[in-house]
Amino acid sequence: MNPPEILLYGAGGHARVLLSVLKALGYRVAGVFDDDLERQFLGELRVWGRYEATYRPEVPLLLAVGDNSIRRALAATARHSFATVIHPSALVDVGAELGAGTVILHQAVVQTGAVLGQHVLVNTRASVDHDCRLGDFVQIAPGAVLCGGVHVGEGALIAAGAVVVPGVSVGRWAVVGAGAVVTRPVPDGAVVWGNPARFIRQNSLSM
């Protein structure tokens, strides 16, 4: 039986992490695209250059870019269907819902009732507890914890080791800094940091 095939869009550091996920899942990478023409190889795989919508349209595509705003821009132009991948060491409850293009990395946990939008990235050992709601293009960085019932708006970044306490909301394109403890709602586009998290500045990507 032939292994399942997948295409990658992106050839930087995040793409290298995804290669290990795909290897663990038994995928064969059928092609790698990257708009940075100086990137010629991803590991042993040759990078073909800019995205080509007509190449192997039957093979699903995975956006191999960590930056939330870039993932959104690529998703808007791509014409392939999108793959959703879960590392075998991750725990994703059968009662969770994952949108197209979402990636769950090594030893991450997504609990029952959680609903994740499209192209969400739940990074290494991050935890998304029961009944959380994550918008499209959200990133939960390594070791971050979302307690039960947290809502995270489109494009927001919860940085490494941050904690959002139960039932608190984080707005669209907001940034929660590394190690922050969020105890009250974070507005759209706000950058917060500290324990407890406090407002630092306004993110220009909020709208």
Torsion angles phi and psi, residue 87, rounded to 5: -60, 140
Report the DSSP pairing between strands 103-104 and 121-122: parallel
State whether the Cα torsion 155-106-90-192 is positive or negative: negative
Could you tell me the CATH superfamily of domain 85-196?
Answer: Hexapeptide repeat proteins (2.160.10.10)
| Residue 130: active-site member | yes
Predicted confidence at residue 205, as pLDDT, reads 59
Rg (CA), the chain: 17
- pLDDT, one tens digit per residue, over 164-182 is 999 999 999 999 999 999 9
pLDDT interval class at 32 (50, 70, 90) = very high
Residue 206 reports pLDDT greater than 80: no
The model's confidence at residue 1, banded by pLDDT at 50, 70 and 90, is confident
SS (H, E, C) 50-77: CCCCCCCCCCCEEECCCCHHHHHHHHHH
191's tokens = 């950058």
Which residue in the list 14, 80, 119, 130 is annotated as catalytic?
Answer: 130
Q: Are 33 and 48 in contact (CB under 8 A)?
A: yes
- Domain spans in the chain, listed from the N-terminal domain onward: 5-77, 85-196
- Report the top-level CATH class of 5-77: alpha beta
pLDDT tens profile 104-150: 999 999 999 999 999 999 999 999 999 999 999 999 999 999 999 99
User: Could you give the CA distance from residue 154 to residue 156 in angstroms, rounded to a whole number?
Assistant: 6
* Mean pLDDT computed over every residue of the chain: 95
Specify the pLDDT at position 89.
Answer: 97
- What pTM, to 2 d.p., does this model score? 0.95
Instruction: Report whether 66 belongs to an annotated binding site.
Output: yes
